[in-house]
Amino acid sequence: MIEHHKDLTSLTTFHVPAVAEQYCKVTTIDEARSVIQIAKEQKKSLKILGGGSNILLTKDLNSLVLHTCIDGMKTEVNTSTTLLTVNAGVEWHSLVSYCVENSLGGIENLALIPGFVGAAPIQNIGAYGVEIADVLESVTLLDLNTLEQYTLSNSECKFGYRDSIFKRSLAGKVLIVSVSLLLTNTNHKINYSYKDVALELELHSINTPTIADVFSAVVSVRKRKLPDPNVLGNAGSFFKNPVIPKTLLEEIQRQFPTIPSYKYDDENVKVAAAFLIENVGMKGYRSNEVGTHIHQPLVLVNYGNGTGGEVLELAHTIIEKVKSTFGITLQTEVNIW
């Protein structure tokens, strides 16, 4: 059933106010098809909402918001792997917990990422050295124009660093209805290359961690370091970590020798956006009801009564300061609506 003048404040993790002209929560593919058809007939722009953890609302929406809440999962167990086909409305973290409880390896490093499964391939969600592209077999889609269903393989999704075809040529053209992941039953590939996870395991004297150990370590680190969106509105990292030429890094290192950098490819390196923001004096910065988080300045926060416009203004200030100090233009990771 389509609702009119729907208040979206509690439907995104930034908790900023905005109203949608029309809104519909769908729990089956057939319902999704009907809502897409209605938007087409009414020539209304269609916006797809999942868990709302990667969206900043900056204005009221003259659109039909389709809230993808299609639940359910299919399991196909083989000798050494299990193929899970998971519908778009399943909560990502509950899927990760299910996998760890059932000894399925591959996504334990991606614990506590908010949001739904359907959005996970869009920015190729990643954390602590693992991204969904590492285990994704295929994505099933509904074409918003023809309403036909089709499937893309991993390579067809054109995954990159926080990037995929869904942010490029298919942006705004498809509804992701399910995602298939190939997970290990045994001989799991354990990854604790990130310092915070390694230190957390060391703290508990764990030398040969299991997937459950890595999961618990990631959960502990994240709970300590990142703000809980239920307490402090945010959408995780507001900007991507920039990938820059090595020559620019060398220039920056003359003034900032401690800048963290990581190999990206032969010519480019990834640098920590948090370092850039901290070094333009914006860590823990607050302007009225919005600011940057005290522990992680890459996360912009809403103290309670902030608006999307105020968050966006703060983001522009940060972009300008980082550009003038480092010559790097930060790109937003969060979707601005």
Helix 211-225 / helix 92-101 crossing angle, nearest 10 deg: 150
Shortest reach from residue 297's CB to ligand NAP, in Å: 10
Q: Considering beta carbons, is residue 18 or 217 the nearer one to ligand NAP?
A: 217
Shortest reach from residue 39's CB to ligand NAP, in Å: 29
82: closest CA among 71, 94, 95? 95
Is 187 in contact with 144 (CB distance < 8 Å)? no
State how far the Cα of 302 lies from the Cα of 248, in Å rounded to an integer. Answer: 33
Shortest reach from residue 53's CB to ligand NAP, in Å: 8
Residue 287 backbone dihedrals phi, psi, to 5 degrees: -130, 105
- Assigned token pair, 44: 């209304």
Query: Which parts of 146-185 interact with ligand FAD (CB under 6 A)?
Result: 175-176
Burial zone of 186 (CB within 10 Å; 0-12 exposed, 13-18 middle, 19+ buried): exposed
Strand partners, 84: 75, 181
306 binds ligand FAD (CB under 6 A): no
Q: Considering beta carbons, is residue 12 or 296 the nearer one to ligand NAP?
A: 296
108 is catalytic: no
Strand partners, 105: 184
Q: How many residues sit in the footprint of ligand FAD (CB under 6 A)?
A: 31
Task: Count the helix, strand and coil residues of the chain and give each as a percent rounded to the nearest 5.
Answer: 30, 30, 40
109 binds ligand FAD (CB under 6 A): no
Query: What residues make contact with ligand NAP under the rule CB under 6 A?
Result: 126-129, 193-194, 196, 225-226, 236-237, 241, 260, 262, 272, 274, 296, 333
State how far the Cα of 12 lies from the Cα of 24, in Å rounded to an integer. Answer: 15
Residue sitting closest to ligand NAP (CB): 236
Shortest reach from residue 146's CB to ligand FAD, in Å: 16
State how far the Cα of 35 lies from the Cα of 1, in Å rounded to an integer. Answer: 9
| Binding site partner of 50, from ligand NAP, ligand FAD, none, Cβ cut-off 5-8 A by kind | ligand FAD
121 binds ligand FAD (CB under 6 A): no
237 is catalytic: yes
Helix 195-203 / helix 211-225 crossing angle, nearest 10 deg: 110
3 is catalytic: no
Stretch that binds ligand FAD, among 95-103, 230-238, 287-295, 301-309 (CB under 6 A): 230-238
Query: Which parts of 30-69 interact with ligand FAD (CB under 6 A)?
Result: 48-55, 68
Map tokens 């912009």 to a residue: 300
Q: Do strands 130-131 and 81-87 pair parallel, antiparallel, or not at all (unpaired)? A: unpaired
State how far the Cα of 264 lies from the Cα of 275, in Å rounded to an integer. Answer: 17
Shortest reach from residue 110's CB to ligand NAP, in Å: 9
| Binding site partner of 234, from ligand FAD, ligand NAP, none, Cβ cut-off 5-8 A by kind | ligand FAD
Element (H, E) at 45: strand 45-49
Q: Considering beta carbons, is residue 245 or 304 the nearer one to ligand FAD?
A: 304
Which is catalytic among the residues 33, 34, 103, 162? 162
Which is catalytic among the residues 53, 164, 237, 310? 237
| Binding site partner of 142, from ligand NAP, ligand FAD, none, Cβ cut-off 5-8 A by kind | none
Residue 92 CB neighbours (<10 A): 26
Question: Residues in the site for ligand FAD, rule: CB under 6 A?
Answer: 13, 48-55, 68, 88, 113-116, 118-120, 122-123, 125-127, 175-176, 226, 229, 234-236, 335
Enumerate the active-site residues.
162, 237, 333
